[in-house]
């Protein structure tokens, strides 16, 4: 058991259950959320009145925030108020350049930075079984490890340089999100051919077409009609895949297939930016404008 005092900023769909799991592991935690800390704080956590208070009092601080802009603003607050020698663990998906920029801002204040996005939907956050992909110095990652392991099933140290965690997360999300789009298209085709969804999923999960969508997303959310429970809105998915596509353009890296999936995601988010990402399937099913004809 560590005697470190840990902090958590952001207690939303992911941050809330992540912080709860940290508390349930017996770690000392102080938390803040601008949307209402008292209502969102897990049992056993100390409630801070501001982000600055968390920055002043915690030795390792997790960020779980909804946008690149909010993330940067909070990092700047911590750089002003935080104690030299503390470490920030950034779980947000913000892109490699933003993560590297955060690291520079905090380093100038004597504060360490671990770029450590997570993979897993809200049910993984609830279970405390997220996958964390951390980039930062070995010393910073070791310091943050007890906190990260409080909400993770596994922690991978993917590189020494902040930004590398973002590259890993964007690679994962590009595969996951584009597979959800292609799985939706494929299963719509099967249903229109008279196949039952449950039967298709059973066959796919015993065949070469198996992926996270067929093994987790569709059985848990789509086949059961629980479209609004994943914890990720359409605009978040659009942001994540957009970061990958923009990155590939800057690198002149192949992106034709994933860019096609991104066009579907952009249309989906434009339809309703706050709808749950699980509604991609009915969007694909019901939108005949997405059909490419000769």
Length of the chain: 294
pLDDT above 60: residue 161: yes
Same domain? For 68 and 122 the reply is: yes
Predicted confidence at residue 4, as pLDDT, reads 87
Is 294 a member of any domain? no
Same domain? For 105 and 197 the reply is: no
Tally of domains in the chain: 2
Is 293 a member of any domain? no
pLDDT above 50: residue 205: yes
Active site residue 169: yes
241-282 confidence digits (pLDDT tens)? 999 999 999 999 999 999 999 999 999 999 999 999 999 999
Predicted confidence at residue 97, as pLDDT, reads 97
The two tokens of residue 166 are: 């973002």
Same domain? For 143 and 275 the reply is: no
- The last residue of one of the domains, among 106, 141, 161, is 161
CATH at 181? 1.10.1040.10
Same domain? For 150 and 99 the reply is: yes
50-94 confidence digits (pLDDT tens)? 999 999 999 999 999 999 999 999 999 999 999 999 999 999 999
For 27: left if phi > 0, alpha if psi spans -120 to 50, otherwise beta; the answer is beta
Residue 268 lies in domain:
167-287
Same domain? For 45 and 147 the reply is: yes
Is 155 a member of any domain? yes
- The last residue of one of the domains, among 117, 142, 161, is 161
pLDDT above 90: residue 36: no
Query: What is the share, in percent, of the chain residues with pLDDT greater than 70?
Result: 98
Same domain? For 12 and 148 the reply is: yes
Predicted confidence at residue 185, as pLDDT, reads 97
Is 20 a member of any domain? yes
The two tokens of residue 193 are: 């051919």
pLDDT above 60: residue 1: no
Same domain? For 35 and 69 the reply is: yes
Same domain? For 120 and 240 the reply is: no
Is 114 a member of any domain? yes
Indicate which residue of 169, 239, 249, 266 is catalytic.
Answer: 169
**String of b and e for 199-236 (b: at least 16 CB within 10 Å)?**
ebbeebeeeebebbbbebbbbebbbeeebeebbbbbbb
Is 124 a member of any domain? yes
Same domain? For 254 and 205 the reply is: yes
Same domain? For 157 and 265 the reply is: no
**In sequence order, what are the residues at sequence separation of 6 or more whose Cβ sits closer than 8 angstroms to the Cβ of residue 104?**
none
């Amino acid at each position: 058991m560590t005697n470190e005092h840990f902090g958590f900023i952001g207690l939303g769909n992911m941050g809330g259950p992540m912080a709860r799991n940290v508390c349930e592991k017996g770690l000392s935690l102080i938390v803040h959320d601008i949307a209402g800390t008292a209502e969102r704080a897990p049992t056993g956590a100390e409630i801070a009145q501001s982000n600055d208070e968390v920055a002043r009092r915690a030795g390792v601080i997790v960020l779980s925030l909804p946008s690149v802009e909010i993330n940067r603003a909070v990092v700047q607050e911590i750089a002003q108020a935080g104690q030299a020698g503390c470490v920030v663990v950034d779980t947000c998906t913000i892109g490699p350049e933003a993560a590297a920029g955060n690291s520079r801002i905090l380093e100038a204040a004597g504060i360490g930075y671990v770029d450590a996005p997570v993979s897993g939907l809200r049910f993984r956050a609830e279970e405390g079984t997220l996958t964390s992909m951390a980039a930062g110095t070995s010393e910073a990652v070791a310091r943050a490890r007890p906190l990260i392991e409080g909400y993770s099933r596994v922690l991978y140290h993917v590189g020494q340089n902040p930004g590398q965690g973002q590259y890993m997360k964007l690679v994962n999300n590009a595969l996951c999100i584009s597979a959800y789009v292609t799985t939706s298209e494929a299963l719509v085709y099967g249903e229109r051919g008279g196949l039952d969804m449950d039967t298709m999923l059973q066959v796919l999960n015993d065949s070469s077409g198996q992926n996270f969508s067929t093994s987790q997303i569709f059985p848990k959310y789509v086949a059961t009609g629980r479209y609004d429970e994943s914890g990720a809105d359409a605009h978040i998915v659009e942001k994540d895949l957009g970061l990958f596509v923009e990155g590939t353009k800057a690198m002149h890296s192949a992106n034709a297939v994933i860019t096609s999936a991104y066009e579907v995601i952009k249309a989906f988010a434009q339809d309703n930016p706050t709808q749950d990402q699980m509604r991609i399937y009915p969007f694909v099913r019901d939108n005949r404008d997405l059909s490419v004809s000769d």
